[in-house]
Structure 1
Amino acid sequence: MIYSFYQNERCSRVFSAPFPVGVLAPVQTIADQIAALSKKKEKPLEIGQIPMSACARSFLILSNIIFLIVGGGLSGVGVWMMTDPKIETYFDILNVDQSSSSFKRICYALLAVGIFALLVAFLGCCGAVQKSKCLLTLFLILVGVITVMEAGLGVMVVVSKDSATAIPVLSALMSDMQDKLRTQLKQSVTEHYLPDTLLGTTWDNVQIELECCGATGPEDYKNSRWTNETRPETDYPDTCCVLMSKEAAVPEPSNKLLCHFGTAGFYFETGCYDKMIGWFQDNSMYIIASAGAVFVIEVVGFVSAFIICKNGIKKKSKESRQQSAKPAER
């Protein structure tokens, strides 16, 4: 606008006489710069031109949002196990006392792991948003330690699965845990099962859903508390029989007489312990896939944080060199 006004013939005649040319030179320079800026068009960034640090920040924030959800879930489970009175019934099946120190340690461990995951996710999110080298470095250290531990544990599990004698300590630990679980389930049936109690109802539901009988088999009910106190006419409850329908309010055996005569095909011969182990084995791929997904997210977060730190250090060093070079030019 100023430049066009200056170039007008009438205005040039007006300004030519009283003002020297040097006075109008700055006005013309400013007008030239405005005209050049108006003609300059910035091209939008293409996908290939997006800075790597921006992509890394996006991946880092996304991965840490997932960690926030996981950490909150674990913390919630820990609090729920410590406060919900109904959960005691489920742990009675395992013959676990909710007030015992072992049970409380499990709850505290879940709560601690959840809070730790929340802390790591908080460091990653804040470090990515604020571009803080200190927070990102601490995040890298914590995630690096976790990733190495998980990778080592995964290798041990794979090796022990392929060869039971490869790691004797791990193999013995797994065997001891399985023996303890089997013993606790059997004690729960033989010492605590009664049909009209919460524990008895829970065992009935487990036997119906898993299609099993007792902890290790129908023999668990012989000389059990249920047999000695109720004096039933059968060797095991009706929920050990093959039912006409699982969804019925009061499940009825398809053939009660043949079931309690021990006729094959009319009662469940497998114990619930074997059924539980079989369920975990059948769904082990989903468990491994979930653990693998978490591991990949951790690696992506680690690499993203490293890229942000590296690019930030380069940028700061470049700016410091430029600032140190300016006094020398002056």
Structure 2
Amino acid sequence: MGLGGCYSIAKCFMVIVNCIIFVLSLGIVGLAIWMLVDSTFYVSMAVDHSNYTISLYILLAGGLFLLLVSFLGCCGAFGESQCMLVSFFCILLIVVVAQIAAAIWVYCNADKLEAMIRYNVKSTVQEEYYKDDRLKTTFDTIQQGLECCGAEYPSDWNESKNIIIGASLEEKHFHIPKSCCRPSIDAKRCEEATQKLNLGAGINYDIIYDKGCVTKVVDVVHDNMVIVLIVGIVIIVIEFVGLIFSLILAFGVSNSRHYKR
């Protein structure tokens, strides 16, 4: 009776763990699709566009893979299939090892994150803003959401190579994106403060945000990384519990069947 009760408890916990993994997997898949569709995530400034897209596809594939693993675990528990339970254990073990390796790599390269963000933000302002619609949309969202302007300073727009090259020799004008305007400013005043400014001229900080975006983006990305780390640890712990219960069930299947006879 004790053995049968323990087996039933292990089976119940196995199903619960896999249901949790299933829900988390749906969340991962949904987040990956959202980030692929919506280009305005601040974290996209941490890496270049190609690496960002590849990372999202890897995240999407990982979420779909975990969905398959959780389905396999539930079927193995309900069907009392030793083969499926062992397969579940082996596949999930590979996933856990890969996740731990990825976490270690991120931890070891965390000191490079700020440098990459600074480089990408400055590159966006000086080189890419008017050439890449995706970056333009993302950076406008950053400037409005974080209430900042430019990379280190709003005057960085004065140094934009794209703007200076496009300015006529007679007029020598440059532009600041309208997303730098404070929310209380009306459209006319924003237009006057951001369009056709003389190169080297002062900027009206009563209308334009006076802080650069680099530090604010770094802080947001660091905060998000902490959240991701906590969520990752929780997922790994849940998966580790799933490994334990899958082994218990796999070894207990034959004993349970014998007990039922």
What TM-score results when the alignment is normalised by the length of structure 1?
0.58
Give the residue type in structure 2 aligned to 1:221: W
Separation (CA, whole Å) in 1 of partners of 2:134 and 2:62: 31
Q: Distance in 2 between matches of 1:114 and 1:279?
A: 24
Q: C-alpha separation between the residues in 2 aligned to 1:281 and 1:92?
A: 13
Q: Are residues 179 and 227 of structure 1, via their aligned partners in 2, closer, same or farther at CA, if it must alter by over 3 Å?
A: same
- SS class of match (2:159): coil
1:299 has 2:240 as partner: yes
Structure 2 SS opposite 1:271: coil
Which residues of structure 2 form unaligned runs of 5+? 195-200
Q: How does 1:40-119 map to 2 (within 5 A)?
A: 51-75=5-29, 84=37, 87=39, 96=48, 102=51, 105-119=54-68
Mean CA deviation greater in 262-271 or 127-136:
262-271
Structure 2: how far apart are the matches of 1:89 and 1:151?
Answer: 25
Aligned length: 249
Determine the structure 2 residue equivalent to 1:11. none
| Cα RMSD, aligned residues only | 4.4
| Letter aligned with residue 146 of structure 1 | V
**Structure 2 equivalent of residue 287 of structure 1:** 228
What is the rounded CA distance, in whole Å, between the counterparts of 1:187 and 1:156 in structure 2? 25
Contact 2:21–2:67 (Cα < 8 Å) also in 1: yes
Percent of matched pairs sharing the same residue: 27
Q: Is the 8 A contact 1:78 1:111 kept in 2?
A: yes
**Distance change >3 Å, CA 92–CA 294, structure 1 → 2:** closer
Query: Which residue matches 2:163?
Result: 226
- Report the CA distance between 1:73 and its aligned residue: 4.6
Cα drift, residue 274 of structure 1? 1.8
Q: Distance in 1 between matches of 2:22 and 2:231?
A: 16
Distance 2:251 2:64 in 1: 28
Q: Deviations over 1:250-283 (max 9, x none)?
A: 5967xx69xx845878754443232122013334
- Residue 131 of structure 1 deviates from its aligned partner by 0.5
Give 1:93 deviation, angstroms: 6.8
Distance 2:47 2:94 in 1: 36
CA shift for structure 1 position 130: 0.3
TM-aligned CA deviation for residue 134 of structure 1: 0.8
- From 122, 130, 148, give the equivalent of 1:186: 122
Match of 2:216 in 1: 275
Task: Give 3-state SS (helix, strand or coil) of 1:213's partner.
Answer: coil
Deviation by residue 1:258-312 (Cα, 9 ceiling, x = unmatched): xx84587875444323212201333444333322221222122222222222322
Matches within 5 A, 1:238-253: 238-244=178-184, 250=187
What is the identity, as a one-letter code, of the residue corresponding to 1:120? V
* Residue identity in the other structure for 1:58: C
Whole-angstrom CA distance in 1 between matches of 2:82 and 2:234: 27
Which protein shows a greater Rg? 1
1:140-219 aligned at under 5 Å gives the runs 140-151=89-100, 170=108, 173-194=109-130, 200=136, 202-219=138-155
The TM-score normalised by the length of structure 2 is 0.70
